[in-house]
Amino acid sequence: MLVTVPREIVYVHEHNVLTAIVSGENDVEFVYPSSIWNLLTMPTVSGSPTPRDELVGAWAERMAESVPPAQQPLAERIVFGEGGVYDPALLEVHHDFIKDLGAALSRLSRDIDMLGRTVSRILEADSTPVPR
């Protein structure tokens, strides 16, 4: 059924990809492979926040901006837990968090791709015959 008027909906997400990010505890069986989790949580050489830390900080700010303080604990249980009754505003917040996570994973993918190309170039340069 297509919802033409914004209204509350029940949205249940048994395996919520946001839960591990917020809790800091990954379940490799259902959510992120360990290689992806390590990229999200590995401390940086420069000491800057990890991608997970950046997501958690941005989501906390967005939640504080979008949800009245008295409703935040319930909203966090719904968004970061198994779901529940979403009003249109909270559903938009959840959607934005999913988009943020997708963008972070895309950035990691680009970084891995760039690393692969760099390593490939180095290996190609090392295999070039040296004139005698």
Give residue-wise pLDDT tens across range 24-81: 998 777 788 888 999 999 988 899 999 999 999 999 999 999 999 999 999 999 999 9
Q: Is 0.85 topped by the overall pTM?
A: no
Per-residue pLDDT, 130: 61
Residue 131 exposure: Cα atoms within 13 Å on the Cβ side: 0
What is the number of other CB atoms lying within 10 angstroms of the CB of residue 49? 13
Task: Give the distance from CA 94 to its chain's centroid.
Answer: 12
User: Angle of helix 72-80 relative to helix 51-66, nearest 10 degrees?
Assistant: 140
SS3 83: strand
Tokens of 67: 């949800």
Mean pLDDT for the stretch of residues 3-9: 76
